Amino acid sequence: MSKRSTPVLIGDLLVKSELVSLGQFADAMPISLKTGLPVGRVLVGSGFLTEPEFKAAVTAQSLVRENLLPMEMAINSLRLARQQRLTFDEALRQIGWRSEYYEATNRLGDLIVDAGCMKASDLEGALDACFTSGLPLGRVLVLRGVCNEMLTYAALTAQVLLREGNITREQALEGLKIVNQRKITMEESLDQQGLIAKRGHTIRLGELLMLASLVSEIDLLSAVERGMLDEQPIGQVLVRVGLITEQTLEQALQLQNLVTRAQLRPLDAAEVLKKVRKTGVSIEKAIAELSGSGASGNGFDVMEMPELLRAAGLLAHTDMIKSIDQSSATGVPVEQVLMNSHLVDQVTMDAASRCQALLKAGQISQEQCVFALQTWIGSRRDIDQILSGVGWKPAESKL
């Protein structure tokens, strides 16, 4: 099966599995639109569908959407569950389906439990939530507060090393115990046991993206687990689910290569990536600006033009990302890209540029900068006068 997410409507599952008729579904739709309730919930309230059947349909929808269960098999299982009064899991087992998702998820949970880092009862509850929501177990464990990000990421790392044959299961369990006790990474734990060599001068792609504030820790956990199930690189998983763009991935891989070749320090690589994604400048220019700042990150703390416009409500997030990508690909300054695309006019750009100049000079804070630009939108008064009016900067002060 393709690993790309498949769109599937809950109504298709319910009607095709004969849990509700087409007429019943059609009657429920106007009520759903009027009340804002999910159509499945309306069907339950109307007595056409039971609560367990509704939950089973939601589970089936999640599994089909992630291409873990064929649509036809989902329909047959829902139909069988009603006919023989089975749970959805029982119906799946009866038709002979075993999911790699169930198997890999159970292996991850067993690893954490067997290391003494989680109770079996906590795992059972998390697995129920996992199968119902369709979310990866690692993410569910963190959301439920059962495990912290470091321990969950360590367990995922251990799974990767186990699959690659680099460590035994006993070594993985001992490593997880040390991670839980000392709050260190899995690789540091294994290194202390003399089991793997230190990575040296390098950085994982996920760590680079996280340090650059492009993905959150919990999104990274989800992507790592999904990548293991799909046997797909984590970068492609992040692109597939829309957390980063293809161009962001290419830039991150380029910087990762520079780190591996000892031409850039890991933290500097993260700062450069952050700068590139904020402004659309080339990697080479961002590295040069970083070197000129004299220290890691010193020159990259000011809100750049695209994010300033977005923060002020003048630019949508998707338009910001597209403009930055276009600027990075063509070498045209992002400000010019925004005006060429008619997303921002010259007058607005001039006002935003004045705010940004004051921000870079240290005369106003980021909050004051955004406030001034938002006030300008409504009044079209001079930026300096706006700031002077609230006592933040004398109107006659010039850069």
Q: How far is CA 71 from CA 4, 17, 49, 64, 93, in A?
A: 14, 10, 20, 6, 16
pLDDT of 394 > 50? The answer is: no
Q: For 22-51, what is the mean pLDDT?
A: 86
What confidence score (pLDDT) does residue 19 get? 94
With a CB cutoff of 8 Å and minimum separation 6, the contacts of 252 are 205, 208, 209, 212, 214, 235, 244, 273
Residue 383: pLDDT band (50, 70, 90) is confident
The pLDDT value recorded for residue 301 is 54
No. of H helices and E strands in the chain? Answer: 24, 0
Nearest alpha carbon to residue 155 among 190, 198, 192: 190
Confidence of residue 296 (pLDDT cuts 50, 70, 90): very low
- Interval 295-314 mean pLDDT: 70
pLDDT average, residue stretch 295-303? 52
Give the range among 5-14, 156-165, 338-347 with minimum mean pLDDT.
5-14
Q: Between the ranges 14-23, 295-304, 352-361, where is the mean pLDDT highest? A: 14-23
> Is pLDDT of 305 > 50?
yes
Whole-number pLDDT of residue 75? 93
For residue 5, the surrounding DSSP H or E stretch is: none
**393 vs 151: which has the higher pLDDT:** 151
- pLDDT of residue 183 exceeding 90, the answer is no
Q: Give me 121's structure tokens.
A: 């009862």
In 3-state terms the chain splits into helix, strand, coil percentages (rounded to 5) of 65, 0, 35
The pair of three-digit structure tokens given for residue 366, joined into one six-digit string: 């980021």
Specify the amino acid at residue 293.
Answer: S
Q: Provide the pLDDT confidence category of residue 15 given band limits of 50, 70 and 90.
A: very high
Q: Are 275 and 285 in contact (CB under 8 A)?
A: no
The pLDDT value recorded for residue 254 is 93
Reported confidence tier of residue 393, pLDDT bands at 50, 70, 90:
low
Residue type (1 letter), 233: P
Q: How far apart are CA 90 and CA 73, in angstroms?
A: 13
Residues 293/299, Cβ–Cβ less than 8 Å: yes
At 196 the pLDDT is: 60
How confident is the model over 75-134, as pLDDT tens digits?
A: 999 999 999 999 888 888 888 776 555 566 667 888 999 999 999 899 888 877 776 555
Q: How confident is the model at residue 362 (pLDDT cuts 50, 70, 90)?
A: confident
Instruction: Output the DSSP codes for 94-133.
Output: HTT---HHHHHHHHHHHHHHHTTSS-HHHHHHHHHHHHHH
The model carries a pTM of 0.54
Check if the beta carbon of residue 280 is closer than 8 Å to that of residue 327: yes
Q: What does the alpha-carbon distance between residue 41 and residue 39 come to, in Å, rounded to a whole number?
A: 5
Mean pLDDT in the chain?
A: 81
Compute how many other C-beta atoms are within 10 angstroms of the C-beta atom of residue 323.
25
